[in-house]
Amino acid sequence: MNKKTKRLLSRWYAKNNNGVDSLEIRQRLINTITNHTEHGMIGLLTAGTDCDGYSWQYNHVIKATLESFNSWLKEFNRGLDGPADYRIVVPSIAKEKG
């Protein structure tokens, strides 16, 4: 695992850690990805508000791997200029919402 992946996982763990072991949290993420996989893909629903108050919602479909999720999360966080969140869903739901 490279430094970028470790840093992204650490951020994800910090966001989602409620006094639970970090290995358990990593396993939860892997289980979530596995449970929401259709044809090797997962869906992501995103929503947020820009610094000027503009609200937005998007959907994404990516490969169902931890590496793909980490790359997507890095890119998602890089462009934020206000509060935002995401939810992992099956791709059919992501396509339906878009």
pLDDT of residue 97: 72
The string of DSSP letters for 5-66 reads HHHHHHHHHHHH-SS--HHHHHHHHHHHHHHT-BTTEEEEEEEEE-TTS-EEEEEEEEESSH
pLDDT of residue 44: 95
Among the listed residues 39, 38, 41, 16, the one whose alpha carbon sits nearest the alpha carbon of residue 26:
16
Residues 49-91: tens digit of each pLDDT: 988 889 999 999 999 999 999 899 999 998 888 899 999 999 9
Question: What whole-number distance in Å separates Cα of residue 76 and Cα of residue 98?
Answer: 17
Mean pLDDT across the chain: 86
Q: Report residue 20's pLDDT band, with 50, 70 and 90 as the boundaries.
A: low
Question: What whole-number distance in Å separates Cα of residue 81 and Cα of residue 17?
Answer: 24
Q: 84: which 2 tokens?
A: 């935002």
pLDDT of residue 30: 92
